[in-house]
Amino acid sequence: MNGKQLKNSILQWAIQGKLVPQDPNDEPASVLLDKIRQEKERLIKEKKIKRDKNASIIYRGEDNSYYEKILATGEVKCIDEEIPFEIPTSWSWARLGNLIDIKGGKRLPAGYKLTDNKTNHIYIRVSDMQDGTIVSKDLKYITDDVYNQIQNYTIGKDDLYLTIVGSTIGKAGLVPKMFDNMNLTENAVKLTNIPINKYFLLYYVRSEYAQSQFRDNTKQVGQPKLAIFRIANTLVPIPPFAEQTKIVSKLEYTLHFVNHFSNLQEQLHDIDTDIYRDLKKSILQEAIQGKLVPQIAEEGTAKELLEQIKAEKQKLVKEGKLKKSALASSVIFRGDDNRYYEQISEKCNDITDEIPFDLPCNWCWCRFSNIASMTIGKTPTRGEQTYWINGKYNWVSISDMIDGGLISTTKEKVSDLAVKEVFSAPISEKGCLLMSFKLSIGKTSILDIDAFHNEAIITIRPVVDKEYAMRDYLFKILPLIANLGESKDAIKGKTLNSKSLSNLLIPLPSLVEQQRIVEKIEQLMQLLK
């Protein structure tokens, strides 16, 4: 059980009345709820609040079933199917909207924007709501003019917030004093006028049971949104007031240790992750230096493999399957002076500074472009819906790539029209090696389906490849090799380009040795798991 699971279990015990013992001397929750109803009646008579047509009482009948009576109409219905668990006899069930007020925030008026300039009016966004509170980092403000238009949509220090839009639905927390009477985003609500223990309510809202109700009641058309009336309909188990205080005290004490446990668990996970990553990197480093498996003379040499590749390129050019420019290649060798040179046509360059380490004598250094072809993908214009609607061709983005695994499905597909008007290269067939070269440099996957892909990904096709030996070798080593290449800073990270990809230095053994290296890597990786 991890820290999150343990915390959820403890919160569940708390809201089921299993965390602290019940005291028969405590005033039962039914009396507390009756007092809350009486206070609301008083406020209604004084015309300070409006009568809630959905106000109800939940009680247990003589037949042990649970019933809900709508006060405005007198209608009574059995709600046994809604009741998720038994609670102590001194507890009661209630709808959240019968306990507290739930009020939404307000978006900015049309034509107005938030400002970084400090004013008296902070505008609290969902991004400001972190770790159960509101943080003061990167605050945004509104002017007096805007405040005058939305001044009724504020949150107070005695309130709780609850997010209601998007992937953050259900985030809840306390409001620090510095944010008292500050404006609240339309993407959250405030839980206000709380007549029970505020901290008990917060723990309840954070419980998995409450969160599951929020998820089940979220409207999924367009952007997910949790409506106020659905929040109000949430079932809450209410303990006696005195027991609420005891539960909060027990939770604060217990969760302190749970959080400590969770932090230690995360640290241990990080250590395990670091060890795995470092060991994996060490294995790959040994592999590309020719130290992972012994060299066997009968398996041939990398020089012989490069000659096969050259011959195959010439054949493909004659057949019109490859452009003549593909024949341009270089030869990297070690001179009598122990320095490394690259022969390009009649030009010979000293590239010793580029060589990261020495290789076994039957290996060679070569440029990536000498041993494989690369095809860069494209992204059809998002604004042209016909490229995406009713798409039937798989289209891979980096998020579809399982690092070191197979791609068997894609989140998006492109249409016939997109294929006709956008993609100049044919679809990458099943079995092809893909590698990301922007942002997530060196992420590799193998296609288990035919697919197109975006411009941050290349399809790699080795010129000579017996039984996928070179594909699998590149699949294993490119994540390490690619990050040794010359990358340039990009807006969202680092990226390679076609030139730097072509110039990647590849440590090349024979095809048979490549197979043995891959087998050994897979064997060792299994031991690490």
The SS3 of residue 435 is strand
DSSP state letters, 174-188: E--GGGTTEEE-TTE
Q: What pLDDT, on a 0 to 100 scale, did the predictor assign at position 78?
A: 96
Q: How crowded is the C-beta side of 173, counted as CA atoms within 13 Å?
A: 19
pLDDT along the chain (529 residues), means of 10: 85 95 95 94 90 92 94 93 95 96 94 93 96 92 95 96 91 96 96 96 95 83 82 95 96 89 83 84 93 94 94 89 80 92 90 93 94 94 92 94 88 95 94 91 94 96 93 94 62 69 93 96 87
Residue 390, number of CB atoms within 10 A of its CB: 11
CB under 8 Å to 394, separation ≥6 — which residues?
Answer: 409, 410, 413, 449, 450, 451, 452
Q: Calculate the CA dihedral of residues 220, 222, 228, 233 and round it to 10 degrees.
A: -10
What is the spatial distance between Cα 388 and Cα 409, in angstroms, rounded to a whole number?
Answer: 16
Q: What pLDDT, on a 0 to 100 scale, did the predictor assign at position 220?
A: 63
Q: What pLDDT, on a 0 to 100 scale, did the predictor assign at position 302?
A: 95
Q: What pLDDT, on a 0 to 100 scale, did the predictor assign at position 486?
A: 53
Q: Does the domain formed by 289-528 have CATH 3.90.220.20?
A: yes
Burial of 102 (0-12, 13-18, 19+ CB in 10 A): buried
The answer to whether the pTM exceeds 0.85 is: no
What is the spatial distance between Cα 370 and Cα 147, in angstroms, rounded to a whole number?
Answer: 65
What is the spatial distance between Cα 184 and Cα 105, in angstroms, rounded to a whole number?
Answer: 5
The SS3 of residue 422 is coil
CB under 8 Å to 298, separation ≥6 — which residues?
Answer: none
Q: What pLDDT, on a 0 to 100 scale, did the predictor assign at position 485?
A: 56
The SS3 of residue 74 is coil
Give the start-to-end residue ranges of the domains of the chain.
289-528
